[in-house]
Amino acid sequence: MSYSNEISKKLNELLEKNYDAEKGYKLAAEKVQNQQLKSFFTRQAQERNTFGHDLKSEIRNFGEDPDKGGSLAGDAHRSWMNLKASLSGDKDEAVLEEAIRGEKAAVEEYEDILKESEIPASTGNLLMKQKNSIVAALNEVKTLEKQA
């Protein structure tokens, strides 16, 4: 099975979104007051950094070049998170809501790529592992929101 430019493009888009999520989680850790939330967001930022490195390796393994940096959409999302947190009476809840929204979008993006028939098994396994981790984080952040 050949590794197509289309799959490379989609993996690079996922890579950018993981960069964005890492930056977003770092920002969230700075914004929240609750130490449990700070710890959760810091762990998620580190995990997304690892996801990015794994995706870069996978892209390189098939002879393609990984993209660098984040996206404009990610910058806009972080700006919105900043604004919402600064205007909200409960900054922790506002940041949690944005984290939930971002994680739901990430799960959908992973599922869309996993539907591709041209994905090599190694790539599919990596993406499924990352998606499952994001689903677990989504469930955890929903629980944290209920506790907040």
In degrees, to the nearest 5, what angle opens at C-alpha 75 toward C-alphas 11 and 80?
Answer: 125
Q: Does 1.20.1260.10 match the CATH number of domain 5-147?
A: yes
Could you give the CA distance from residue 85 to residue 49 in angstroms, rounded to a whole number?
24
Helix intervals (H) in the chain:
5-31, 35-61, 72-87, 91-114, 121-147
What confidence tens digit (pLDDT) does each residue in 8-30 have? 888 998 998 898 889 888 988 88
Give the pLDDT of residue 6.
79
Could you give the CA distance from residue 5 to residue 11 in angstroms, rounded to a whole number?
10
Q: Residue 70: CB partners within 8 Å, gap ≥ 6?
A: 16, 19, 20, 23
**Residue 89 pLDDT class (50, 70, 90 cuts):** low
| 37, 88 Cβ separation under 8 angstroms | no
pTM: 0.83
What confidence tens digit (pLDDT) does each residue in 41-75 have? 999 999 999 999 999 999 888 888 887 755 555 55
Nearest to 77 by CA among 14, 24, 114: 24
